[in-house]
């Protein structure tokens, strides 16, 4: 009897240990299962799914340069020989891209292929193809290139960037420094990172932040998830303080932009023509308590108009410096970014309602957004 009791106790303790082990290590099951039966892991499987569609992009353009620095020329010789002339020179660039359909459409960054004369695309098998730039959008830093391909192209499956969560695996592919088929691994460090906070005031982007290494030459290459689906387009890396931070454009935005570039060759962005700063009750109260303050600000949150661009939709609608935008027709405005997001969704030439605080009174302003000028 004692033997049976001892054996029962032993089996009970063993089952508790096994259960504890399973419960503790289950969250790490994906990591523990990195090695499959063939000795490889989910990273290599994901990469195999996409790497045939990753391309290297080489560009060339003709620029004019001075023959030499005129400041290095002796003044007497300068009087004798005159100012140095301009000579044509070839400027070369390099980046990455990813094929997104069987017809040979390549998604990349606008800064890789903007204002170039020639585009050469090197496929994963080493074949070179001439590339035709179908369109670029500097606001989102995206571009669409078509390659001359007689056969159906290998293309990468596209994921859903709205499904991403912080902590998800992130794998960057590209040709940094010309090193083709380079793969780096990290995680999604943050989502909806405003590019304006990184010092790019001329862009409209919420970026995916990752610690997967992204280097010069990675621009335009894909960021993929553990299932081998493209979730973003690598666009920039933070250098200097904060080095090691990489950023990618969400693939859902990239798909939308590429569709417009394919259809129209450009992307139309609505604009109002105002410069905005963020206002909240704390900032407004501190300002109002300053005896040197020239105006009193409403002590509430919103997007404060700092200036109005002449002849812009905002000026035509009667918006003024000092107006506080607190809502659109359907959305409360707590900060400028929210207003910019709503403007991006607006239709050109159709009335866009703004609720504004002016002289401590709420008013409604009807404004018609226009196409952002100066992009071409």
Using CA atoms, how far apart are residues 46 and 256, in angstroms rounded to an integer? 24
pLDDT confidence of residue 201: 56
**CB atoms inside a 10 Å sphere around CB 26:** 10
* Distance in Å from the first CA to the final CA of the chain: 91
Which residues are CB-neighbours of 30 under 8 A, at least 6 positions away?
42, 226
pLDDT confidence of residue 1: 52
pLDDT confidence of residue 168: 97
Q: Tell me if domain 51-147 and domain 270-371 are identical in fold.
A: no
Q: pLDDT tens digit string along 137-180?
A: 998 999 999 998 767 789 999 999 999 999 999 999 999 888 88
Give the domain 51-147 fold.
Answer: Thrombin, subunit H (2.40.10)
Domain layout of the chain by residue ranges: 2-49, 51-147, 161-264, 270-371
Using CA atoms, how far apart are residues 363 and 343, in angstroms rounded to an integer? 19
Give the domain 270-371 fold.
Answer: Pdz3 Domain (2.30.42)
pLDDT confidence of residue 24: 46
pLDDT confidence of residue 26: 44
User: Which residue stretches of 177-267 are H helix?
Assistant: 251-264
Tokens of 159: 């994921």
Give the domain 161-264 fold.
Answer: Thrombin, subunit H (2.40.10)
Using CA atoms, how far apart are residues 268 and 347, in angstroms rounded to an integer? 10
Q: Which residues of the chain have pLDDT under 50?
A: 3-4, 17, 20-29, 32-33, 376
| Contact by Cβ (8 Å): 112, 95 | yes
pLDDT confidence of residue 358: 93
What SS3 class is residue 185? strand
What SS3 class is residue 281? helix
Q: pLDDT tens digit string along 120-132?
A: 999 999 999 999 9
E strands along the chain, which residues?
54-66, 86-99, 105-108, 118-122, 128-137, 142-147, 169-174, 182-194, 206-210, 222-224, 230-238, 245-250, 270-271, 274-279, 302-308, 324-328, 352-358, 361-367, 370-371
Residue positions counted in the chain: 376
Percent of the chain's residues with pLDDT above 90: 59
Which residues are CB-neighbours of 246 under 8 A, at least 6 positions away?
172, 186, 209, 210, 211, 212, 213, 214, 218, 234, 236, 237, 238
The catalytic site residues sit at 111, 141, 219
């Amino acid at each position: 009897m004692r033997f049976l009791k001892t054996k029962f106790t032993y089996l009970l303790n063993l089952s508790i240990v096994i259960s504890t082990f399973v419960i503790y290590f289950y969250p790490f099951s994906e990591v523990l299962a990195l090695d499959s039966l063939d000795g490889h892991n989910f990273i290599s499987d994901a990469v195999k799914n996409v790497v045939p569609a990753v391309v290297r992009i080489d560009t060339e353009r003709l620029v004019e340069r001075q023959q030499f620095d005129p400041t290095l020329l002796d003044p007497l010789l300068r009087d004798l020989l005159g100012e140095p002339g301009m000579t044509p020179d070839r400027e070369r660039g390099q980046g990455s891209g990813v094929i997104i359909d069987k017809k040979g459409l390549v998604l990349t960054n606008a800064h890789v292929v903007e204002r170039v004369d020639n585009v050469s695309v090197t496929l994963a098998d080493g074949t070179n193809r001439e590339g035709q730039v179908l369109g670029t959008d500097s606001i989102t830093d995206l571009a669409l290139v078509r390659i001359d391909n007689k056969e159906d192209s290998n293309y990468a499956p596209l994921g859903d960037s709205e499904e991403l969560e912080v902590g998800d695996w992130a794998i960057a592919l590209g040709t940094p420094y010309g090193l083709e088929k380079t793969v780096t691994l990290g995680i999604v460090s943050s989502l909806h990172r405003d590019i304006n906070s990184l010092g790019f005031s001329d862009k409209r982007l919420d970026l995916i932040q990752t610690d997967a290494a992204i280097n010069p030459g990675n621009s335009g290459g894909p960021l993929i998830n553990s299932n081998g689906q493209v979730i973003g387009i690598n666009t920039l890396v933070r250098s200097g303080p904060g080095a090691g931070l990489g950023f990618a454009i969400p693939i859902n935005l990239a798909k939308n932009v590429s569709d417009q570039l394919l259809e129209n060759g450009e992307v139309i962005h609505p604009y109002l023509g105002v410069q905005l700063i963020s206002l909240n009750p704390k900032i407004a109260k501190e300002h109002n308590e300053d005896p040197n303050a020239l105006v009193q600000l409403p002590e509430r949150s919103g997007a404060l108009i700092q200036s109005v661009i002449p002849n812009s939709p905002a000026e035509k609608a009667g918006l003024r410096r000092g107006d506080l935008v607190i809502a659109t027709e359907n959305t409360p405005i707590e900060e400028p970014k929210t207003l910019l997001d709503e403007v991006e969704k607006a239709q050109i030439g159709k009335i866009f309602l703004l609720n504004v605080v002016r002289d401590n009174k709420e008013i409604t302003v009807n404004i018609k957004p226009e196409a952002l000028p100066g992009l071409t």
